[in-house]
Structure 1
Amino acid sequence: MKKSILAILTVGTIAFTSCTKDDTPSTVSSSFELKVDDLKGSITSGTVTLDASKTYTLTGGLVVKSPAKLIIPAGTVIKSDPTADSERAKTIYIAVERGAKIYINGTATQPVVMTSGKASPAQSDWGGLIICGDAKVNTGDNGTSEVGGLLYGGNNNDDSSGEITYLKVSYTGSKFSDTKEYNGVSFFGVGRGTIVNNIYTFESGDDAVEFFGGAVNATNLVLINSYDDSLDYADGYIGTISNVYISGISFGGVEGSNNGANDIALPMTDAKINNISIVKGTDAKFTASEKAINFKEGGGKQTYTNLFVDGITTFAKLDLGTGATARIAAGDFKVNGMNYVAANNTTSTYVTTQTGAGAGATLPTWAAWTK
């Protein structure tokens, strides 16, 4: 995951109605011009609601600016421009600025879909979804998001950026440069007031889901075929992620970090991961070269409960710096009720009696909506 591109401004006049969330107004005027076949620009005011009966073509950066709100009803489909080449693909994304809100109101039978518009879709056909919040990160209170160029981070761990429920995100991860790529979904300093549950990512050119600091919790993640890490958190992320099914791993199943510039930076990463299956995948291109868990850049505090690993012989890749070794020695890397011991770096100790996301290496029943 890497750096930034600027949003595009669009001005028009139209009124939209809101969803039924208690913290959204019933009817708010917005200056944004909504075009079904040319979805892009900056929503700078009011509330914009998409129409689930239409399929939208995302042609550039769609940015929700503070204090605006974007509501995406159940069953809405958004596709990237089918004519976009690799250069244009890196300008196509959806982003939510700190202080703005997004409500993705999918259901199990009618999820919200964000995907490629190409006839033969592939990873990196478009950018992805970026959410920025006002919660604490250990890299500073006013960081700039790696994609979208938006400010994030602050001191409000209870901050809300809205809600993401039942979202399918596919063929993301367009490459801005040799060191800058999008994730499927990126959370930058997002607070625990944000509701996040039931996200499915497929064929992400970079990480599937990544948390840059913040305190948001997440439940029910299905991360399939990622071409960097599958689940990634860093920069003082403090939260709980429950029910995670991962399959098709290129680098790490999970990459957990504290801070790349200062491995003992505060607040220290303190992640609790409950009920997780990490499955390498049968395709030869998925090598899990950075193991089931990459304990990186100080690692911070990491607790894995009911973790199942399949197809990965060496359990963890370890940062050998003083910050990480101190955390391991202090018992801050816990796996299935045990302190991790570097000398016993195999999966056998950790998976023999675990069910992981619910059914070991098999897709769990709670994830049936993704099929």
Structure 2
Amino acid sequence: MSHPCAVCGSPSNKRCSGCSKISYCSAECQKEGWTTHVIECANPGRELTTADHLAAFVRMPRPPTNPEAIKDYGFTNTMMHDRQLAEVYDHLIQVLGVTAPKLNRWKNEGQLEEKIRETFEAAPLSRRGRASKFFIERGHRFLNPVLAKRDQAAYKRMRAMENYLLAVPDGLLCLDVPGTVASWPPEKQFIFECWTFFNLKTIPRPHEPAYLRLGYCAGQTEDEFDYIADLYDALSKECYVDELTAAYTSSSIIRLFEEKGLGPRLHRFSRLRDFIQILSRPYNKSFKGTVWELKASLMMRTTLEPEVGKDWGYHNCKDNSDTYQLSFSLSLLTMGDPTNSNLPGDPMGLMKAAAEGRLFDYAYETYELARKGKQLLRRLFVTEPNPYCREELGL
């Protein structure tokens, strides 16, 4: 019995020799898919390293979630540059042919920064890409213990300064910042904690509350995330914690941008429709089951709750290959294809299609995803209206 190839979707009778759970139609497809499958395979044939976890996750490109991989490859020090550092590793692996075992060897020998620099310098200019420029200018700092420690110290000083500045009422010195903040309502505490994101222009990670609640999840590209960070940085300079808390709890942050003279800048944001939809929701309304929760889950490669996952088709998955294909398709529909500007991703469009029970038709009509592996996607995609998306859209 044939199964769809995990990479291209073509029918195949060949399966992974390690776990027999995922299919490949050719050696080329197996080589392409192995980078992400190796960390899930029951019998990968060798001991896995943190470099394997790194390679699997930056393929998105996203920073890894494995704690040891985060530490080994510089992501503990990246602040707002984790996606760019992920792109450096992705470029090394996908374009310049650096393997996970080689990265692991460089790391163990204490030569990671040196070898990455040598690899970029040895590559033709046409193959270095923007990843090389970022690494030379900034990325190397994350792998240099001295510079990284200096960056961390600066970050801690800045955070302490911001905390004290924000906790000073009426010009009086607050000697117990933690105690003062703890006495505030939860909503004000949340906004206060977000002030560090605003002033440092950092991007909260998908698992952090601010990523969903303050609309960062509307971003798709590094430039769009940076644009949101710039908007909040500008807003934080025009208002105080109490004012932003009031706007947050009344779902009127968009109006606050306008009132503070930031309307023109706000309306230049390419994802304004999504940004408005998220910030107009009741602040205490759960994101459970929404397309925004789905997007965050896909970015982190976490598993949705079964009762939520079934409304996106995960209960139709018979094996890891099915799960991979469904997640890959939903990622394209939600976040687009970073290598193809004609496939930008449209979460709101996906949410509407899910609410109408038209996931397969939407994938076919909008992105032609169903042209390969049509039968598989027709089986996986749910045909019943998604109740969470219907509620979100007020249907």
Give the TM bin, normalised by the shorter chain.
under 0.3
- Using CA pairs below 8 Å that are at least 6 residues apart, which structure has the higher relative contact order? 2
TM-score by length of 1: 0.22
Bigger Cα Rg:
2
Which has more helix, going by share of residues?
2
Which has more strand, going by share of residues?
1
TM-score by length of 2: 0.21
